[in-house]
Amino acid sequence: MSNIKSKDIIKACLPRGQRDINSSELRLLRSIIDKISKVYESYGFEELSTPAFEYSDAIGKFLPDQDRPNAGVFSFLDDDEKWLSLRYDLTAPLARYVGENYDKITKPYKRFQVGSVWRNEKPGPGRFREFIQLDADIIGADNNLADSELIMLACDCMRVLGLDKNSYRIKVSNRKLLDSILQLIAVNEPINDARRLIILRAIDKLDRVGIGGVEKLLDAGRKDDSGDFTKGAELSPVSISKILDFLSIDNQDRKKFIIQADEIVNQTDTGQEAIKDLIEIDNLLEKLDYLDEISFDSSIVRGLEYYTGTIFEANLQFQTDNDKDLPIIGSIGGGGRYDNLISRFRKDQIGAVGFSIGISRLVTILQMAEFSSDKVKNGPILVLKMDNEYSYSYYQIAKDLRDSNISAEVYVGSSGMKAQMKYADKRRSPIVIIEGTVEREKGIVTIKNLIRGKEISKSIDSREDWIKNTDIQFEVNRAELVETISKLLKND
């Protein structure tokens, strides 16, 4: 009997926004990472790994949707009195790496990286405080070819997962469009940094609150369903009208989008530059047959602090078979041009464009949509433990299988054969191996093919037919075990 007192028991629970990941999700996660990494490599990107934390001043103020430096990150003071922060994305560490190694790297520098990042912010559906990102960036290229390449890369990543063209959309825009709208508004009323952020955040919420909600956020403010009030930008009706007209541009037809956007922003040099960029991207992607999955969308904002040109997002748009409502997850990836980020570490401006996939969010929405591009993987072959005295023999069987690259385990519990068979079923074992006293004396083993058993059970009515069926259970010489198992697995 335990002497542990109830008051000494610690409650087993996770911090908010954290989660454990089970084996089935890990398999899906690793499969996705492997497939996308191969796409990145096929484009010539080479892998880089950077540390989990950086000096806080190296990360800087480029956090998504944050007004002040180092907001939203997990930080701690080192013993040398310098602040360190867990990385909130993989781009800031890349900027530091390029700044530190600029003269050593080949330019344009094409790198990809996979790793965990951390955000000290409020969790939500599909949003965690620790999650995995998979990034690809091109450093040292200041033209639309690099932007177009990463948009193509985004499409190919969705394709390699087995998603059809109706299941995702790559939405493209340009931050210069938004900048030109703000310039036009500033002619009639002041737009300081704080007001600018309120306006951009309002536009970014279009998918969640609708055009009416955005209008309220551009005006006095909006109260949400919980009763919380968000103060608005307090713009004039004329300014609000300009923004709403911009958000109403046709996003179903790229050519119409360009014409309508040009009519609104061509009064500014910034707007003309944005239209030129979009036309060049459109012309290239059209020739390469990528445009079925791509649309231009005026509501795309992204990274309020550091994007300077082309911006784009990858969004999933599943229709589930059971009509289940999926929670609003938002984009599962995105990126754009950020020509000012690396200049924090150098005097000259370095052109840069990147794309990032939120792997954790992607896995979550694929599971919610009950989507999988892979066949469910079998578990290990199970060697039953019939007699403790002969455990060495069971482990020899498992070792022989593993030496032939076949996953196998010996049952290490204390239960009988019935419970061991239930264990095999829960572990999705395709095959069970039995070596009792009689088998050992004859130099044979019994093989139970659980996969075939499940298939045949649908058509067998009697226990006698089941026992007689040699596809389900049969004996082989011990020396022929590995070869027999290999053939069975190959056939299945």
Segment 342-364 mean pLDDT:
90
pLDDT in tens, 78-99: 899 888 999 999 999 999 999 9
CB 135 within 8 A of CB 157: no
CATH classification code of 14-167+317-377: 3.30.930.10
CB atoms within 10 A of CB 392: 7
Please check the confidence at residue 188 and state whether its pLDDT lies above 60.
yes
Going along 101-242, which residue ranges are E strands? 109-118, 130-139, 168-174, 221-223, 229-231
Please check the confidence at residue 355 and state whether its pLDDT lies above 90.
yes
The verdict on pTM exceeding 0.85 is no
Please check the confidence at residue 216 and state whether its pLDDT lies above 50.
yes
Amino acid in the structure at residue 98: V
Report H helices in 219-356: 237-247, 254-265, 269-287
Question: Where are the domain boundaries for CATH 3.30.930.10 in the chain?
Answer: 14-167+317-377
Band (pLDDT 50/70/90 cuts) for residue 136 is very high
Please check the confidence at residue 215 and state whether its pLDDT lies above 60.
yes
Strand partners, 127: 124
CATH homologous superfamily of 381-491 equals Anticodon-binding domain (3.40.50.800)
CB 235 within 8 A of CB 219: yes
The Cα 426–Cα 194 span in angstroms is 56
Going along 234-377, which residue ranges are E strands? 294-296, 310-316, 333-337, 352-358
Please check the confidence at residue 429 and state whether its pLDDT lies above 50.
yes
Please check the confidence at residue 65 and state whether its pLDDT lies above 80.
no
Question: Where are the domain boundaries for CATH 3.40.50.800 in the chain?
Answer: 381-491
Band (pLDDT 50/70/90 cuts) for residue 467 is low
Segment 22-51 mean pLDDT:
94
The reported pLDDT for the residue numbered 213 is 92
The reported pLDDT for the residue numbered 64 is 47
pLDDT in tens, 141-168: 999 999 999 999 999 999 999 888 888 9
Segment 50-56 mean pLDDT:
94
Band (pLDDT 50/70/90 cuts) for residue 375 is low
Report H helices in 132-219: 144-160, 175-186, 193-204, 206-218
- Tokens coding 373: 């591009």
Q: Which of 109, 111, 60, 67 is nearest to 87 (CA)?
A: 60
Would you say how long the chain is, in residues? 492
Please check the confidence at residue 126 and state whether its pLDDT lies above 80.
no
Task: Supply angle C-alpha 476, 478, 480, rounded to 5.
Answer: 70
Q: Which of 48, 110, 58, 45 is nearest to 87 (CA)?
A: 58
The Cα 150–Cα 136 span in angstroms is 8
pLDDT in tens, 238-278: 999 999 999 999 888 999 999 999 999 999 999 999 999 99
